[in-house]
Structure 1
Amino acid sequence: MKVKELKKKSSVRVDIRYLQQLGIQSYGDDNLYPQTVRNIIAASSTGSECADRFADFIEGNGFREVSFSEYVVNRKGDTADDIHSLVCRDMADFNGIALHVNYNIMGQIVELQHIPFENCRLLEEDDNGYVSKIAVHPDWSGTKTRRGTKIRVEKENIDYIDVFNPLKSVVLAQIEAAGGIEYYKGQVLWVSMAGKQTYPTGKSDRVITEMSTDEGLSNVKYRNVRNNFFPGSIVFTKKGSNITFDDKGNEVKGVDDDEGFTDALIQLQGDTNCGKIMEVTLESDEEKPEVVPLHSTNYDKEFTVTDASVVERIYSAYGQEPWYCIRIGKVGFSGDILEDAFEYYNSIVSKQQRLIERTFDRIFSHWYEMANPTNDFSVQPLKYVRNAAVSNNNA
């Protein structure tokens, strides 16, 4: 089948449109693509596990240069390693990072801050195809509060910050245009693995449907255990008549106001009520009680194949097949296998690590002092430590 015949069945992963009232390019149709993705990952147990492992391997053991990793980079006391850990999480979820830098009056970088990638939006390109500023808002959903008041998504609540350009002539001109160093907002280094000035999608995007399905399967399992009818019985018994007489001596049949059937039925649901017996009193004249067993459907069995395929696809999307094979018992659990798995996955995350390394190099090559004399911004990869080795070291 030709490609043009297939396009009707596919859709753009990230819808981008221009929001004129804010002067930005929307990140998704509702401008909440990264927020939605992060929520879906968090709701999926398998997705969270894979995303956490991906972030851990990108971060590794931090910068090789210990002195640089402990170097304080802002007034809050954050170290280079602290900032690195935050950007690795963003890289794992979105394939993009954002860093904010402040300058001194000499046009030198003196401070580095992490900006959550989901808080950044691109302005529209100018006639030359250049995006000059990054729009930053603490919560594009408009639900976050400060002093009890929601931070609405309006221009007055958005910081429009110049994109990263460390040329002294450019920085000094921006400082002058801002009215002085005290009014200058600095610059944002916004980096995307999808390309320059292009909103990225993370590894989760290709299995976002599977992650949502994984959440749904968890809900089914929860309701199956908490709300299903486990093996039990209902006993139907004969109801006796309560006969009284009114003031005139006329016979009056008592009325049973018992409306507890619904409440009693609830008591037969869930794991803590397994095997209970319910008694129901009838108005008819049965000669003996009748025991009616309750039969329920185990929905877990209906989704066994779906559950297995969803988990496999999520692991595959993150390139974590070795851990999936260990999980399902396809390969044994041994030190050699785990050591090979660690070495394999370090090669998977090397591209993300190199991009982060280049990003830090771009910033600290314009730092006001020599923060990293070796100019080595590489990361120590994670290594599997065998129990025997740990025992020897402890000894």
Structure 2
Amino acid sequence: MRVKDLKKKSSNRVDVSYLRQFGIQGFGDDNLYPQTLRNIIAASSTGSECAERYANFIEGNGFKDIRFSEYVVNRKGDTVDDIHALVCPDVGDFDGMSLHINYNIFGEICELNYVPFENCRLLEEDSNGYVAKIAVHPDWSGKKTRAGKPLQVKKENIDFIDVFNPRKEVVLSQIEAAGGIEYYKGQILWLSGGGKNVYPRSRADRVVTEMSTDEGLANVKFRNVRCNFLSAGIVITKKGQSIAGEDSSGLNDNDGFSDMLGKLQGDTNSLKMLEVEISSDEEKPEFVDLSSKNYDKEFSVTDASVVERIYSAYGQEPWYCIRIGKVGFSGDILEDAFEYYNSIVSKQQRMIERAFQKIFDGWYEVANPSNDYSVEPLKYVRNAAVSNNSRGGI
């Protein structure tokens, strides 16, 4: 089928619209795309497992230069390594990152802080296609509170911060325009794997349907265990007779029978026996088998395909093969898997490396004499005991 014949059946993965009241580009049709995406990932056990592994490999063992990784970058005492650890989950979940940079009165970078990527929105482009500021709000859903009051999504609660441009003349002019260094809000370094001034689309986006299905399958399994009828059966006796059973309370009225149904549901009430008295002339008790329907089997194929597709979207086929027993569990296989996956995350690591280099090239002092901003990749550690001098792997 031709591409033009399919365009009516497909839609944009990330809707971008202009929100006139704020002058920003909406991230998703409700401006909550990153928040919704992260909730979908968190609700899927397979998705959150793959996303966590992806972020861990992006982080690696931190920057190779240990002295640089221990350098304090803000008044709160955060180190380069602390900021790096906060950025990597954002890169993993959204394929984007944002950092806040402060300057001194000489126009030199003097402070670095992490800003959650989901808190940032792009301003509308000007006539030259340039985005001048980043809009930052602590919670675009408006549910977060401070001092007991909700932080509503209003223009007065949004910080409009200049985009990163470390040229000294630009910074000094921004400080002057703000009315002095005490009123200057600094700059935001906003990076997207989707391109310049484009909201990114992460690996998780391609399997959001599968992740939501994974959550639904977990709910089915939960209800199958907790709410299914797992009783052994019903013993029907003549009224006046008594059969010793695990549950033999009288059920001579409708209310009692309704109450008993609830007591026979779920795993904690499994294999119990229900006794029902009848007012007929039967001499011997009758046993009626209650075979419940196991709904797990109905979704076994769906379950397997959903898990496989989520692993595939994150490029984690080696771990999927180990999980299903297609390959053995050995040190050589895991070592190969680590080496393979380090190549998968190298692009995201380079994004982070370039970002930190841009910042510290304009730092007020020499913070990284080696000028080495590379990230040390994770390595599989065969021995359980790791020396104190080693930074190890997972």
TM range (shorter): over 0.9
Greater Cα shift, 261-270 or 336-345:
261-270
* CA deviation vs aligned residue, 1:335-367 (integer Å, no higher than 9, x gap): 111001000100110000011000000000000
Code of the aligned partner of 1:326: I
* Partner residue, 1:22: 22
Query: Does the 8 Å contact 2:231/2:269 carry over to 1?
Result: no
Q: Does 2:2 align with 1:2?
A: yes
Q: Alignment identity in percent? A: 75
Would you say 1:311 and 2:307 are equivalent positions?
yes
Distance 1:23 1:320 in 2: 40
Gaps of 5+ in 2: 241-251
Root-mean-square deviation (CA), in Å? 1.9
Q: Residues 228 and 270 of structure 1 are in contact (CA less than 8 Å); yes or no, is this contact kept in structure 2?
A: yes
Aligned to 1:250: none
- Contact 2:231 2:273 (C-alpha < 8 Å) held by counterparts: no
* Matches for 1:1-395 after TM superposition, within 5 Å: 1-239=1-239, 259-283=255-279, 286-387=282-383, 390=386
Instruction: State the partner residue of 2:247.
Output: none
Structure 1 gaps of 5+ residues are 241-255
Partner Cα separation in structure 1 for residue 281 and residue 82 of structure 2? 77
Q: The residue matched to 2:296 in structure 1 has which SS?
A: helix
SS state of the match for residue 374, structure 2? coil
Q: Which amino acid aligns with 1:134?
A: I
Partner residue in 2 for 1:251: none
Alignment partner of 1:172: what SS? helix
Q: How many residues matched?
A: 380
User: How far is 1:232 from its partner?
Assistant: 1.4
Local SS of the residue matching 2:84: helix
Give TM-score scaled by structure 2 length: 0.93
Partner SS state of residue 378, structure 1:
coil
Contact 2:50/2:311, CA 8 A, preserved across alignment? yes
**Stretch deviating more after TM superposition (222-231 or 105-114):** 222-231
**Aligned-partner SS, 1:346:** helix
Partner Cα separation in structure 2 for residue 163 and residue 218 of structure 1: 43
Alignment check: 8 A CA contact 1:232 1:268 kept: no
Deviation at 1:257, TM superposition (A): 6.0
Give 1:237 shift: 3.3
**Cα displacement string for residues 229-279 of structure 1 (whole angstroms, at most 9, x for unaligned residues):** 114112233446xxxxxxxxxxxxxxx667222221111111111110112
8 A Cα contact 1:69 1:81, kept in partner = yes
Between the aligned partners of 2:291 and 2:143, the Cα distance in structure 1 is: 45
Whether the aligned pair in 2 keeps the contact of 1:227 and 1:270 (CA below 8 Å) is yes
CA contact (8 A) 1:265 1:278 kept: no
Displacement of 1:292 in angstroms is 1.9
TM-score between both structures, scaled by the size of structure 1? 0.93
- Secondary structure at the aligned position of 1:135 is classed as strand
Q: 1:384 is matched by which residue type in structure 2?
A: Y
Stretches (4+) displaced over 6 A: none
Q: Deviations over 1:82-102 (max 9, x none)?
A: 000111110000000000000
Counterpart-to-counterpart distance in 1, 2:10 and 2:306: 20
1:155 shift after superposition: 0.5
**Aligned with 2:271: secondary structure?**
coil
| Distance in structure 1 (CA, Å) of the matches to 2:133 and 2:298 | 52
